[in-house]
Amino acid sequence: MRNIGMTGGIGSGKNQVAEIFNQLGFYTIDSDISSRKVMAKGMPACEKIVAFFGKEILDENGNILRKKLGDIVFNDKEKLKTLENIVHPAIYEYEKKERSKIYGKDDKAVVITHAALIIESGSIDKYDALIVISCPDEMQVKRVMERDKFTREKAENIVSHQMPNEERLKYADFIIDNSSTLDDLYNEVKRVHNLIMQINYGKKLS
């Protein structure tokens, strides 16, 4: 159990949880960063995206305007599917190489890859286990409004378009509750970290 996926809805705290896992000695890969890498100017995925969506999604330097592209696919399932079919395989190959580099340096490494759509994209089968971060919808809405300066209507719209939390939890091997304080979140992450270490190496950590 060394290649672990982690997911949760928008505003659930994936970056926060990843930070704590890093502090506890696990390695983490952020699929949002991976996505930016594979969609960068000159990359094969970027060229395929521009060929399909047109040059109007580019800025003056030839970089993809991610917000503009996101607005195009948000309410168009066919276009979204096309984008995912281009980007997801490219991300998978990029992250596979990143994990290989980590395992090459540390043969006992546990790598947590966090992404919003692990279940929806079908990539759940590529991981040894799945961590799901859980918190109430209203908390997600408030966090998105605060973080991204969105209106309540826009934040609620985004949350409502995602897989419901109850459905996501059905796929979880480990659940992290992020509905309380930062101290409580740290303890939740440490609990899951210790469970994984026990399963892998029989180590019971304090």
Could you report the per-residue pLDDT of 54-109, keeping only the tens digit for each?
A: 999 999 999 999 999 999 998 898 999 999 999 999 999 999 999 999 999 999 99
Q: What is the mean pLDDT of the chain?
A: 94
The Cα–Cα gap between 132 and 5 comes to 9
* Cα–Cα distance measured from residue 85 to residue 89, given in angstroms and rounded to the nearest whole number: 7
C-beta separation of 162 from 10 below 8 A: yes
Residue range 1-26+110-206 in CATH 3.40.605.10: no
Residues paired with residue 111 on neighbouring β-strands, in sequence order: 3, 27
Cα angle at 98 between 100 and 53, to 5 degrees?
135
How much is the pLDDT for 161? 87
Is residue 203 pLDDT above 80, yes or no?
no
Confidence check: pLDDT of 116 > 80: yes
**12 Cβ contact list (under 8 Å, min separation 6):** 133, 134, 135, 140, 178
Q: What is the pLDDT of residue 75?
A: 80
Query: Quick one: average pLDDT of 153-162?
Result: 92
Q: Calculate mean pLDDT across residues 122-150.
A: 94
Asked whether the predicted pLDDT for residue 130 surpasses 80, the reply is yes
Is the pLDDT reported for residue 204 higher than 70? no
Give me the residue spans of the domains in the chain: 1-26+110-206, 33-97
Burial 137-158 (b: 16+ CB within 10 A, else e): eebbbebbbeeeeeeeeebbeb
Binned at pLDDT 50, 70 and 90, residue 191 comes out as: very high
The percent of residues above 90 in pLDDT, for the chain, comes to 89
Q: Scanning the structure block, which residue is given the tokens 């996101």?
A: 70
Q: In whole angstroms, what is the distance from residue 132 CA to residue 7 CA?
A: 5
> What predicted TM-score, i.e. pTM, was given to this entire model?
0.91
